[in-house]
Amino acid sequence: MGARHRLSTAIAFGAFCTCWGARASANPFEVLGLTSRHAGQASAAIASVDDAAALYYNPAGLVARPGIELSLGTIGAYAHLEHGGRLADPTGAQLAIRAPLPLAGRWQDRIIIGIALHLLPREVAHIIAPSPDEPYYPYYGDRMSRIVVLPGAAVQLGRLALGASLDVLAGFAGTLDASEGATRAIDARADERIPTAARLIAGATWQATPCLRLGAVVRQHFELAFATSANTTVAGEPIDLDLRAAGLFTPDQLGLGAAWTRGPHVVSIDLREARWSDYRGPFVRVDSRLPLVGDIPALSPRVPFTDTYGARLGIESHVGRWIVRGGYGFETSPVPARQTGVTNLLDGPRHTFALGGGHAWGRIRLDAHVQLQVVQHRELTKLLDDGKHAYDPFTSLRDEDTATPDVQITNPGFPGIRGGGQVVSGGLTMAVAL
Amino acid sequence: MIVVALASPAAADPLDELGFGAAATGMANARTAVAIGAEAIHLDPAGVALATRPELLIGWQYSHDRLTLDGNDARMIDAHGSTLGLAIPFTVGDVRLGTGVAVYLPDQYLARIQLTPINEPHYLRFESATHRVVVEPVVAVAFGDWAFGFGVSVLADARSRELRFDVGVVGGEKQGDARLDIAMPTRKAPLASVRWAPSRKLELAAAFRGQLSLDLDLDIVANIDVPDVVTGTATVALRSVSYFTPMRASVGAALHPREDLTVTADLTWEHWSALGSGMPDLRVLLALDIQPPLVSSIQPPARFHDIVTPRAGAEWRSGTLRLRTGAGYLPSPVPPQTGITSFADGARVLATAGAGIRVEPGAILTQPIELDLALAWQHVVHALVRKDEALQPGGAFSSGGDILQASASATVRF
């Protein structure tokens, strides 16, 4: 078997392995919210949440009210973003339930457990890892494209409530060994595993006065180190390929909130910080060593993501059996505004406007909401490498074919690219007190 | 083009192997006609509508495999995981309704995909059987002596929409990158069951579950552009079926000869003959400036056959104590492995025992809690397989061993 044949075989198996190591997506609740009641307030809920949606917003809120409650809903979104930015899975169904443990005496209604789910109509997950030069919105991308399972519990200790929930996730790791068998066909052995993993959401609320409740929530940083290797032996010669991907990055998040209640009106204010500066980017890194060609390094630009800060305001007002809601939120962008090299990651500071309403019939309440996210426009302009320093793919572009006169560049963002736009979402939720 | 010889797992549902809750484990899973509330979701969804209050079942199970190949440890990985069942009954007029979901979460993996060279002896049905997640949402309705349940058992496939791997020379330097777009579409198998209680002493049930599997359908394109070395495209197409869980139909009966005693029996038919080849199809197409292509080889179908599994159980109650026992015979669907395939398997004898207590409401609880424990032992009958002399002169392998399981669960009512 020729060396070129071995090379092509190795590359094919390297690509085979690549399919296993893709990153999964982040939490769709971060983009769309959980239940129409809270999405209709721009997800300003850290201190005010008092239903099963607390499993995401602040698990301590699970215990704010007694009783068994079930919420069923659907949510959907439409993106109008520059360069055809779209949402991979724009619709989903949501279910959240909570119930107090059947304890009597002083612990009655003091410990409450629950579970929240986000389900996709046709998929469990949809994984997208773009090429480094592909125009791509990392904040949206595939962030809504996985199911979410959030079990949790909370306990009431006087005016203090503590709660925790787990975002159950999965990663990927394994190996593929392949070698030419006796019949010259490829004899392969694979052992790929999808390990169970989870990240913690912990929160607390403090009923400072009858009107004022304060809340804090911490969402744990999570990153799954996807790693798989292909060890191929052809004609007695080993050909190795290694895949390294930083899967499912969710930054450390800290949220502080206050909720002020006066009669039938509740005003919520949230402040949030997310440490996106730990993010290494959405790209898959594939390194290989092949016969004749030697080392083939991955094109993996290091993108300096930045921490984000945001504030949200939400209002809920009861008028008889009717409920009116509204909200506004602002969040800075984690994506660098200056990308003069290979990458075309599109994003911008985000404004969120929300409106919602509901109506109660006895034990049943029906809520609806609509939300508009406006991503501020940004213009990315590319620079050409001057050849004076070591080449950095994040800071400049270079001639792709040095054997041809003039400069050949196929980067879709050259000489400039504009990003931004709007994402509209809406939903319905039915809440039943059981 | 080539077709490569690999074998991927075929397995029953993990909850069929481990039981959903320790009460089911302690009675050899022969509770189709008596399960009510959360524990009914997996065995007989109709029983969800017969619950009187919302129920939460939380459990944990461990399975220790002591299987051998040629007298040596088969190096099976012990399986352990958590079960979670939630049943919510409610009424509309005189009609009792219920909804619920059963979940099994393995501690180690949500799924494990193994591809083994087909001529290597291995336990095709056991090596990954208990290493996958189970999700089963159901609804149920009951009126009079009848109850009906419907639901789905959910798994996912993996399909590539785009899987591109580029190796080339950019700016005079070698460079590789990739673009992935892989969907995991939901795969659903229908669940349906009916329960009938013709008298206070007899309950009858029938349950059906459709076929389920995790199918891989991946097309990978590798574009290679290294001038003076190689230029062209290599395409890999992988089609495989993992976690094949056959369609099954069960009938069950429960007899209550005394107030404190229940005797049950289940008979289950499993459609293993639908497995097909049981092997993945991996094809590599090389559109490069090189010759000749790799040699092709095609593997024979697995030719599994359908099986009928009898199980029986008994439960004795005294005050707050419950004692349980069960037994079953699980035939093997695997045909004699005299050819190129070497699927180790064997008929299994199952014996179980369990106990539970019911903690009544009082100063601490407002609703009762049931705590259950169970142990199960499966003996896989030893077998010596001799290969066809024309194919593999002197070829043979032996298999067999034991599987030990333990289960603990709590059922909480709200």
The CA distances from residue B133 to A82, B77, B107, B110, in Å, are 39, 16, 10, 5
Does the CB of A299 have a partner CB in chain B at under 8 Å?
A: yes
Peptide bond into B292 cis (omega under 30): yes
Does the CB of A181 have a partner CB in chain B at under 8 Å?
A: yes
The CA distances from residue A227 to A17, A171, A194, A196, A284, in Å, are 10, 9, 11, 15, 10
Partners of residue B110 in chain A, C-beta under 8 Å: 170, 194-196
Handedness of CA B118, B122, B123, B128 (dihedral sign): negative
Cα A68 from chain centroid? 29
Residue listed under structure tokens 């014996």? B351
The CA distances from residue A245 to A223, A228, A249, A281, B256, in Å, are 10, 9, 10, 9, 58
Instruction: Please give the pLDDT value at position A267.
Output: 97
The model's pLDDT over A22-40, given as tens digits with 9 standing for 90+, comes to: 343 457 888 889 999 999 9
Q: Which of residues 30-69 of B touch A (CB under 8 A)?
A: 54, 56
Closest residue to A196, CB basis, from B106, B181, B184: B106
Q: Which of residues 179-238 of B touch A (CB under 8 A)?
A: 179-186, 218, 220-222, 224, 226, 229-230, 232, 234-236, 238
The H-assigned helical ranges of B182-335 are none
Residue of B nearest to A404 (CA): B171
Closest Cα partner for A315 from A302, A304, A329, A294?
Answer: A329
- pLDDT interval class at A299 (50, 70, 90): low
Structure-token pair, residue A375: 């991503």
Instruction: Please give the pLDDT value at position B184.
Output: 77
User: What radius of gyration do chain B's Cα atoms show?
Assistant: 25
Peptide bond into B310 cis (omega under 30): no
The model's pLDDT over A80-119, given as tens digits with 9 standing for 90+, comes to: 999 877 777 788 899 999 999 988 888 888 999 999 988 8
Residue A181 and residue B151: Cα distance in Å, rounded? 45
Closest residue to B238, CB basis, from A16, A68, A298: A16
Report which residue type is found at B241.
V
- pLDDT interval class at A181 (50, 70, 90): low
Under DSSP, is residue A7 helix (H, G, I), strand (E, B) or coil? Answer: helix
Partners of residue B2 in chain A, C-beta under 8 Å: 185-186
Instruction: Please give the pLDDT value at position A16.
Output: 44
Residue B344 contacts residue B69 (beta carbons within 8 Å): yes
Instruction: Please give the pLDDT value at position A227.
Output: 61
Distance from CA of A387 to the nearest CA of B (A): 11
Does the CB of A364 have a partner CB in chain B at under 8 Å?
A: no
Judged against a pLDDT cut of 50, whether residue A150 lies above it is answered with yes
Residue B156 contacts residue B186 (beta carbons within 8 Å): yes
Instruction: Please give the pLDDT value at position B50.
Output: 95
Residue listed under structure tokens 């504030």? A311
Residue of A nearest to B287 (CA): A8
Query: CB B220 to CB A193 under 8 A?
Result: no
Residue of A nearest to B233 (CA): A8
How is residue A8 annotated by DSSP? H
How is residue B339 annotated by DSSP? S
DSSP A23-40: -----HHHHH-SSHHHHT
Buried b vs exposed e over A301-319: b needs ≥16 C-beta within 10 Å? bebebeebebebbbbbeee
Closest residue to A196, CB basis, from B107, B158, B236: B107
Does the CB of A108 have a partner CB in chain B at under 8 Å?
A: yes
Instruction: Please give the pLDDT value at position A19.
Output: 40
Distance from CA of A279 to the nearest CA of B (A): 19
Distance from CA of A314 to the nearest CA of B (A): 32
Q: Which residues partner with A373 through β-bridges? A: A352, A423
Under DSSP, is residue A54 helix (H, G, I), strand (E, B) or coil? Answer: helix
Residue A246 and residue A282: Cα distance in Å, rounded? 8
Q: Which residues partner with A429 through β-bridges? A: A73, A367
Query: CB A187 to CB B117 under 8 A?
Result: yes
Over residues A120-129, mean pLDDT: 75
Does the CB of B79 have a partner CB in chain A at under 8 Å?
A: no
Instruction: Please give the pLDDT value at position B289.
Output: 54
List phi, psi (to 5°) of B331: -70, 160
The model's pLDDT over A193-209, given as tens digits with 9 standing for 90+, comes to: 666 777 899 999 999 99
Residue A66 and residue A210: Cα distance in Å, rounded? 17
Instruction: Please give the pLDDT value at position B79.
Output: 86
User: What radius of gyration do chain A's Cα atoms show?
Assistant: 25
Query: What pTM value is reported for the model?
Result: 0.80
Instruction: Please give the pLDDT value at position B232.
Output: 74
Does the CB of B111 have a partner CB in chain A at under 8 Å?
A: yes
Percent of chain A whose pLDDT exceeds 70: 77
Residue of B nearest to A196 (CA): B109
Judged against a pLDDT cut of 90, whether residue A59 lies above it is answered with yes
Structure-token pair, residue B374: 């169970």
Under DSSP, is residue B41 helix (H, G, I), strand (E, B) or coil? Answer: helix
Residue A339 and residue A334: Cα distance in Å, rounded? 13
The model's pLDDT over B142-194, given as tens digits with 9 standing for 90+, comes to: 998 999 999 999 887 777 777 677 777 776 676 777 776 777 788 889 999 99
Reported ipTM: 0.71
Does the CB of A433 have a partner CB in chain B at under 8 Å?
A: no
Structure-token pair, residue A287: 């390194």
Distance from CA of A88 to the nearest CA of B (A): 10
Closest Cα partner for B134 from B108, B86, B102?
Answer: B102
Structure-token pair, residue B172: 């005079």
Distance from CA of B266 to the nearest CA of A (A): 33
Structure-token pair, residue B95: 């009609």
Instruction: Please give the pLDDT value at position A4.
Output: 52
* Average confidence (pLDDT) per 10 residues, chain B, 414 residues: 41 82 96 95 95 93 92 87 91 88 83 70 76 88 94 83 72 70 82 95 96 78 72 71 87 96 96 75 57 50 89 96 96 87 89 96 89 96 85 82 95 91
Closest residue to A19, CB basis, from B180, B230, B295: B180
The model's pLDDT over A271-290, given as tens digits with 9 standing for 90+, comes to: 999 999 988 777 776 666 66
Query: CB B156 to CB A125 under 8 A?
Result: yes
Distance from CA of B218 to the nearest CA of A (A): 8
